[in-house]
Amino acid sequence: MGILDFLTGEFIDVIHWTDDTRDTMVWRFDREDHEIKYGAKLTVRESQAAVFVHEGQLADVFMPGLYMLETNNMPILTTLQHWDHGFRSPFKSEVYFVSTRRFTNLKWGTKNPIMIRDPEFGPTRLRAYGTYTVKITDPGKFLVEIVGTDGEFTMDEISFQVRNIIVQEFSRVISSSAIPVLDMAANTKDLGKLVAEAISETIAAYGIELPELYIENISLPPAVEKALDERTSRGLVGSLDDHFRYKTAEAMGHPGSAAGQAMGMGMGAGMGMGAGMGMAMGGMAGPWGQAPAAPTPPPPPPVEHVWHVAADGQTSGPYSKADLGQMAAKGSLGRESWVWTPGQDGWKHAEDTELAELFTVAPPPPPEG
């Protein structure tokens, strides 16, 4: 074997990368002094791309396929090297393999609550979390903007930056969407699309995209959730009352049921006690015959309304109806005066209330002189 054959065999002639991880995005093909044999074979598998960097400058990008590294397959690198077509010696370049598959099931979430203005609850804080997917769309740009000279770049090294961008855009989208808090759960799919679209322009400068972004949950502070639970409970009170009345009527309509029997026994006992008391009272007679029945007490006196009067942005009162009659006689209370009494639906003109009679009584004729 000649010396040229020996030197030729020292240089690598097959370049490829078999990814056995789930989070490696970029891997540098290491070779001492980065010497690559002219005419070597380059294998780029599906969901991969190979990027050649020559003397710190981005050269050629190879997509999936089998390549023979010659001048006709490396136009940019050939130009940088100023090769003639007869050049056959090894060249020095770095080769980076870039994974172009989707990196899935990545987590994101709001570290701090987001303040929004809800049309029903007013200023409200909420949190959200979900998952997203990342895919490298421009291997050369990703290598220049993000990776640099890192020999093995993983998803963990960029996920923090992507999460910050997602949370920032989510906060902006959720604040401008005007979707009520109670309706957000039904619109998480649309919100996810809006956030992904808002992020796409920013992360495109990194050479990546987010094919999928999901919002799994949007939650309110514990105090607000407790208030919502109490409101729901109050809304059920009417239904529970109707249910109780229904069950009572059902028991009365079925004497054979346990509840109906118990109710019937209770009613029978009550009727028996009433009859016994009536007979006992009937037997209580004095020497002059039957005792007279006790007189019926008079009903309680009617409750007099008190009134308030509003004039010139001020309120006064309370006044009795007699006080208002004197005010009407003096002219300080007119038909158009605003009055209010407890139980009345808002302020009304005096002539639209029972006070109208104060203005319909005509004065007696003047005395004869």
The CATH number of the domain holding residue 124 is: 3.30.479.30
Whether 326 is covered by a domain: the verdict is: yes
Q: Are 52 and 109 in the same domain? A: no
Residue 55 lies in a domain: yes
Domain boundary among 223, 255, 274: 223
Residue 296's pLDDT band, with cuts at 50, 70 and 90, is: confident
Split into its structural domains, the chain has a count of 3
pLDDT value of position 135: 95
Q: Are residues 80 and 122 in the same domain?
A: no
Q: Show which of 189, 223, 257 is a domain's final residue.
A: 223
CB atoms within 10 A of CB 67: 17
Lowest mean pLDDT among 37-41, 275-279, 309-313: 275-279
User: Does residue 88 have a pLDDT over 80?
Assistant: no
Q: What percentage of residues in the chain have a pLDDT greater than 90?
A: 22
> Is 328 within a domain?
yes
Question: What is the percent of the chain with per-residue pLDDT over 70, rounded to a whole number?
Answer: 74
Residue 135 lies in a domain: yes
83 & 108 share domain? no
Task: Identify the residue with better confidence: 113 or 298.
Answer: 113
Same domain, 128 and 173: yes
Within-domain flag for 163: yes
Higher-confidence residue: 340 or 76? 340
Distance CA 218, CA 344 (A): 44
208-254 tens-digit pLDDT = 999 999 999 888 878 777 877 777 776 665 555 665 676 677 676 65
Residue 142's domain comprises 102-223
In a domain, 247, yes or no: no
What pTM, to 2 d.p., does this model score?
0.56
Residue of 90 and 25 predicted with greater confidence: 25
